[in-house]
């Protein structure tokens, strides 16, 4: 076997491997797209399920706004700032579930910063930051992923207004953008 033939066979083998890898990636992308159409994310949807007791609204409160945050996420710190510095509403409870408290400013009393691994695991859907609305009965009624261009104050206001008496709950919105 000549050197040229060996190099050609090796190139053919590499090309065959690349083709197999490309087909495998294509099949995986198609599978993920099919799951998205069927609203399958690998995580159970939280909407309609009971929230952990530690984040539910207290007696006399109509809504809980719960943020699932990560200390290593810069965007999560912006969500915490929006929760902890917004307008006071005694009928709403504001809670941030974090993996660890480092880097989060001390709350001013409006929002609670909780480190509860079990509750956070129950509400984590694979992405943070996420904002959830919990009704007075303790059921998650809404979930929104938060992105860099999300209008945080508007989203929090919407979550609180949805729980005024007589208003219906629109449910789950995956993308909430300004």
pTM above 0.75, yes or no: no
Split the chain (178 residues) into runs of 10 and give each run's mean pLDDT: 92 95 88 61 72 92 91 88 76 89 75 89 87 92 89 84 54 42
β-pairing verdict for 130-135 and 111-114 = unpaired
pLDDT at position 154: 86
Sign (positive or negative) of CA dihedral 154, 158, 159, 165: positive
| Residues pairing with 96 in the sheet | 67, 113
Token readout for 15 is 């090309």
Closest C-alpha among 86, 75, 74, 80 to residue 98: 80
Cα Rg, the chain, nearest whole Å:
23
Which pLDDT does position 14 carry in this prediction? 96
Q: In Å, how far are 19, 39, 87, 118, 174 from 36, measured between CA atoms?
A: 26, 5, 36, 27, 11
Q: DSSP letters along the chain, please?
A: --HHHHHHHHHHHHHHHHHHHHHHHHHHHHHHHHHHHTT--SS---TTSBPPGGGSPPTT--EEEEEE--TT-HHHHHHHHHHHHS---TTEEEEEE-S--TTPPPP-SSEEEE--HHHHHHH--S-SSEEEEEETTSBEEEEEE--TT--HHHHHHHHHHTTSTTPPP----SB---
Instruction: Please give the pLDDT value at position 71.
Output: 87
Closest by CA position to 116, among listed 97, 88, 143, 95: 97
């Amino acid at each position: 076997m000549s050197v040229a033939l060996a190099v050609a066979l090796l190139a053919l083998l590499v090309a065959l491997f690349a083709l197999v890898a490309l087909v495998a990636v294509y099949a995986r992308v198609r599978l993920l797209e099919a799951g998205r159409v069927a609203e399958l994310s690998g995580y159970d949807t939280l909407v309609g399920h009971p929230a952990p007791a530690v984040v539910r609204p207290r007696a006399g409160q109509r809504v809980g706004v719960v943020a699932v945050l990560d200390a290593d996420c810069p965007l999560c710190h912006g969500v915490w700032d929006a929760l902890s510095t917004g307008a006071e509403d005694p009928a709403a409870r504001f809670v941030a579930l974090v993996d660890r408290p480092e880097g989060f400013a001390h709350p001013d009393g409006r929002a609670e910063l909780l480190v509860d691994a079990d509750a956070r695991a129950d509400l984590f859907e694979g992405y943070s930051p996420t904002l959830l609305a919990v009704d007075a009965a303790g059921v998650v009624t809404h979930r929104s992923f938060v992105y860099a261009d999300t209008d945080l104050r508007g989203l929090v206001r919407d979550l609180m207004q949805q729980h005024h008496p007589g208003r219906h709950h629109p449910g789950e919105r995956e993308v909430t953008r300004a």
